[in-house]
Amino acid sequence: MTEFAAVILVDRRGWVLLQERDEHPTIAPEKWSFCGGHLESGEDPLAGAVRELEEETEVRLGPEALELVAVQELRHPETGTDDETIRNRLRLLAAVDEGVGQIFQTLEGARELDNTVIVFAGDNGYFYGEHCLSSERRLAYEESIRIPLLVRYPRAVKPRTVIDEFALNVDLAPTFLDLASAPAAPHMHGRSLRPLLGGRHSKWRESFLVEYFSDTVARRILNMGYQAVRTRRWKYIHYTELRGMDELYDLERDPYELDNLALRREADATVSEMQAELKRLRGQIA
């Protein structure tokens, strides 16, 4: 496939999307395990999970929370990713690295390397035990939503340029069109990254929307569809099908998102601000 893509680039000088398929582990049989909890002597695991959540949040949890705990904390494959899956992902990355090298060599041989825009990006991140998660890559934590984005195009991007602004996957299509001197369609949500790539740091977004609509693929996140907003300092996650389970993190003080502030009284003003920003962002795509 890599060789075929290289031929297209050289002979036809068009656009090529080369995508590697990730290693998808087989879901193991259900096992009971209490992730990160501390059970009292003789205490039922489910009751212990609920008690810990109530102690942490200082809120009496309702039936919806009990159901969530049963799915999220207890009845699931063992937390963490098995070694063979991790090895297979590393093998895949080695194959990607080799394929990118082949593309570079072919373009160099044709003297087209510096005339070609090369964009290297990922789909989503993975959990290797963070937040007691493994394959639930749909959730809005940093490990999942942050992906690599590298661009090589000497005509427009200086080597070793680092851009700190928020770049989203919806920005890729407008960027490609801009680089090809073609207008973006009015209904596109993203923005061209070309000004940032060229060092023109004009007014840029200070927040962005992340959404997930519940499905039945991953059992541990059943009914956990959410709407989330992330700013430079804060992240607020609103679960659309669960009451009293929203999350708020101060990413400056808590970059690993371990201390949920959503139900703390001192965070009420921040929660209101983030809810308003979430409403504003959703209004842009309504």
Q: Are 276 and 265 in contact (CB under 8 A)?
A: no
Please state, for a pLDDT cut of 90, what percent of the chain lies above it: 41
Strands 118-121 and 207-212: unpaired
| 3-state DSSP percent of the chain in helix, strand and coil, to 5 | 40, 10, 50
Q: Are 93 and 17 in contact (CB under 8 A)?
A: no
Weakest mean pLDDT among 21-30, 78-87, 118-127, 214-223: 21-30
Report in angstroms the alpha-carbon separations of 251 from 204, 256, 268: 20, 7, 17
Q: What is the pLDDT of residues 197-236, one digit of tens each?
A: 988 877 899 999 999 998 777 677 778 899 999 999 999 9
The CA distance from 120 to 148, in Å, is: 7
Record the pTM.
0.76
Closest listed residue to residue 219, CA positions, set 44, 9, 68: 68
Confidence of residue 34 (pLDDT cuts 50, 70, 90): very low
- Rounded to 5 degrees, what are φ and ψ at 248? -140, 130
The CA distance from 167 to 120, in Å, is: 13
Count how many residues are written for the chain.
286
Q: What is the pLDDT of residues 252-276, one digit of tens each?
A: 999 999 999 999 999 999 999 999 9
Helix boundaries (H) for 58-135:
63-69, 83-109
Domain ranges of the chain: 31-76
Residue 8 or residue 87, greater confidence: 87
